[in-house]
Amino acid sequence: MAAPVALLLSHLRPAWLAPVFALHMTVSLSLAAVNYQHWDAYRRFVATLPSAQRTWINGDWGLRFYLESAGGLPLERGQTMRPGDLVVTSELSQYTTVTGTLARISEIDIRPSLPLRLIGLDTRSGYSTAARGLLPFGISNGPIDRVRVDTVLERKATLENLPMNAPEAEQQIVSGVYSLEEHRWRWIGERAVFLLKRPATPKPLRVSFFIPDSAPARRIMLLLDGVEVAAQTYNAPGTYQLTSTPLSGETVTVAVDKTFSVPPDRRQLGIILTEIGFAP
């Protein structure tokens, strides 16, 4: 609509053009200043981070640019991280959920001096993404973004048998597992890794899962400390359990032969897990 509006304005009397031009320049320069303060806050924040620690980026746009320039790595869904790693998360552009045990190091609100917003947590401007609205800009005193830094702590497994809705699940999930749904189950990707408490005596290792009609996965494999201990091919969707002989170990992996995705969801989905662990 810019061109028709410009043509209409060109027909205004000269006496009106000067105030309109002045208003346009005032708003434009103000938005430019807000935009600069936004990206400059990211740049200055990144400069305060320790360079010796591996840093994962859970965000996009300017924050990701400055962090990658400083050696940061984009965080993928199900990413395996080491104790001591840093995770920088943008509330504005966060694109995945981190599983594991994190400890907050610092947090900042990015709040420019002028109450104009090209994008923000509480504005409906569509400057960078239409998901937040379609307005050309917004008026707000709220923060544009909230950025936090967490450090990854060492995982400590407390359960031998792990239901997906257990409070301890987030701490014992290592990678390849998505968020809890309906308070009882989780999707996994091609490979899902868990940390379990080692049993005092060998016990059967068991995984309880569901293969939906839409899932192409048919062969399910169960590994303990990197060694395959059980595998089976299933001819049809349904609810199943896969169990090994009595064993003892800590790191358990569930793998599937095929995954799928349902646009616009870009997750690679395998099967649905409800429980995994050493059978009581």
Domains of the chain (ranges plus CATH)?
14-152 (no CATH), 161-278 (2.60.120.260)
pTM: 0.64
End-to-end C-alpha distance for the chain, whole angstroms? 67
* pLDDT beyond 70 at 229: yes
* pLDDT beyond 90 at 46: yes
Query: Token pair of 95, please?
Result: 């694109």
pLDDT (mean) for 197-211 = 96
Least confident of 2-16, 37-51, 121-135: 2-16
Least confident of 59-63, 97-101, 107-111, 112-116: 97-101
pLDDT (mean) for 135-163 = 90
pLDDT of 1 reads: 62
* pLDDT beyond 90 at 16: no
pLDDT of 18 reads: 76
pLDDT (mean) for 218-229 = 94
pLDDT bracket for residue 27 (50, 70, 90)? confident
